[in-house]
Amino acid sequence: MKIEELLHLMVEKGASDLHLRVMRPPTLRIDGVLEVVEGMPNITPSDLKEAFEHVTTESQRERFRNELELDLAYSIRGAARFRINAFIQRDTISLAIRRVPFEVPTLDELGLPAICKTLAIKPRGLVLVTGRTGMGKSTTLAAMIDHINKNDARNIITIEDPIEYVFKDNKSMIAQRDLGSDTRSFANALRHVLRQDPDVILVGEMRDLETIATAITAAETGHLVLSTLHTPSAPQAIDRMIDVFPPHQQEQIRLQLSLVLEGVLSQVLLRRSSGRGRVAAVEIMLGTDAVRNIIRDSKIEQMPTYMQTGSQYGMQTMDQALQNLVRSRLVTVEEALPFCVKPNELIGRPVLSPV
């Protein structure tokens, strides 16, 4: 088993992910479905050790020995970039590899709502992209950065773990910082970024209290801050951010968040009804006056109802996004049902859940 051959196979088959674990063949994820690579034998511990050493440097291997976890980026000239996570399971190395194309897809190519362009060119505020792992959050943010880069002259600084899409300066100038090699933590990088004259700050992930607090402060001081959260809905992103703070600070954070929030996009990827490729269903919550009041008053449970009736502002719930995809015949009812909050309302009439 040669790791370079498997990475080329990922590109050839259009796979999003490659999983390498001992005692099973290499496994690809294609259009969201896991598929074993046919004709390949089970991977041995020595196979994985060789693959791991091929894609890492000595300093990375030292960090892995100390922490038993490692995130890194790897490139094959002319093929693609890859985000690699190395971890230990049952005392053996395992690799989870995500393919990152060299070219950043546009918002239009991704089929994302037009509101993404509006949010990307906001002069200031906080914009979040949320969703489960593997739902395209990083790609959406990259497309938004690319949109800014092509349309406006701004100083953009990204803090990523690791760097995935590599940007080239166009109208904007872009500095990309890699967690681990260029900075020690998201929070540490954010503390210093305001002295680097940024207009736009991308934070790869809101992981902890300090990162969230510093990002909100950056948005308050007149910067556009883009980031991600692992929450299954837009309203839950608000609760998640507030809940990381001690009770005595939560009222103040609600006030700050209500003032800086510009929008939250929550997305899932679904297989197209054609059988090839995937399409995003996007829940949209925008920082309207009513949304800001709901956040301040800690009435997040009212948010879905307001989003459902806020189409004139560009908002929609996940159920509405799924309905649109089903009605457009881009995805099947069966594909959309698992992501519905109210499955019976999927296409405006009762829908029987699969047995």
* CATH code for the domain of 27: 3.30.450.90
The verdict on 213 and 237 lying in the same domain is yes
The verdict on 119 and 25 lying in the same domain is no
The verdict on 121 and 23 lying in the same domain is no
Q: Give the whole-angstrom CA distance, residue 134 versus residue 79.
A: 21
- What is the predicted pLDDT for the residue at 226? 98
The verdict on 48 and 189 lying in the same domain is no
Residue 107 located in a structural domain: no
Cβ(5)–Cβ(76) under 8 Å? no
Could you count the other beta carbons within 10 Å of the beta carbon of residue 260?
A: 21
The verdict on 82 and 144 lying in the same domain is no
Domain extent, residue 281, equals 115-345
Residue 159 located in a structural domain: yes
Query: What angle, 0 to 180 degrees and rounded to 10, lies between the N-to-C axes of helices 247-260 and 209-220?
Result: 40
The verdict on 186 and 74 lying in the same domain is no
Closest CA to 94 of 48, 29, 43, 161: 48
Residue 110 located in a structural domain: no
- What is the predicted pLDDT for the residue at 49? 96
Please give the tally of structural domains in the chain: 2
Please say which residue of 47, 75, 100 terminates a domain: 100
Residue 157 located in a structural domain: yes
Give me the tens of pLDDT residue by residue for the chain, a chain 355 residues long.
Answer: 699 999 999 999 999 999 999 999 999 999 999 999 999 999 999 999 999 999 999 999 999 999 999 999 999 988 899 999 999 999 999 999 999 989 999 999 999 999 999 999 999 999 999 999 899 999 999 999 999 999 999 999 999 999 999 999 999 999 999 988 899 899 899 999 999 999 999 999 998 999 999 999 999 999 999 999 999 999 999 999 999 999 999 999 999 999 999 999 999 999 999 988 999 999 999 999 999 999 999 999 999 999 999 999 999 999 999 999 999 999 999 999 999 998 887 755 544 444 3
Provide the 8-state DSSP code for 99.
E
Please say which residue of 50, 73, 100 terminates a domain: 100
Closest CA to 238 of 204, 286, 199, 188: 286
The verdict on 125 and 17 lying in the same domain is no
Residue 108 located in a structural domain: no
Residue 237 located in a structural domain: yes
Q: Give the whole-angstrom CA distance, residue 120 versus residue 334.
A: 33
The verdict on 95 and 196 lying in the same domain is no
pTM over 0.85: yes
Please say which residue of 100, 134, 169 terminates a domain: 100
* CATH code for the domain of 311: 3.40.50.300
Q: Give the whole-angstrom CA distance, residue 163 versus residue 102.
A: 12
The verdict on 156 and 216 lying in the same domain is yes
Q: Give the whole-angstrom CA distance, residue 110 versus residue 139.
A: 9
Cβ(85)–Cβ(20) under 8 Å? no
Q: Give the whole-angstrom CA distance, residue 14 versus residue 29.
A: 9
In sign, the C-alpha dihedral spanning 195, 200, 205, 209 is positive
The verdict on 119 and 17 lying in the same domain is no
Residue 233 located in a structural domain: yes
- What is the predicted pLDDT for the residue at 180? 81
The verdict on 143 and 265 lying in the same domain is yes
Residue 354 located in a structural domain: no
- What is the predicted pLDDT for the residue at 78? 86
The verdict on 138 and 53 lying in the same domain is no
Total number of residues shown for the chain: 355
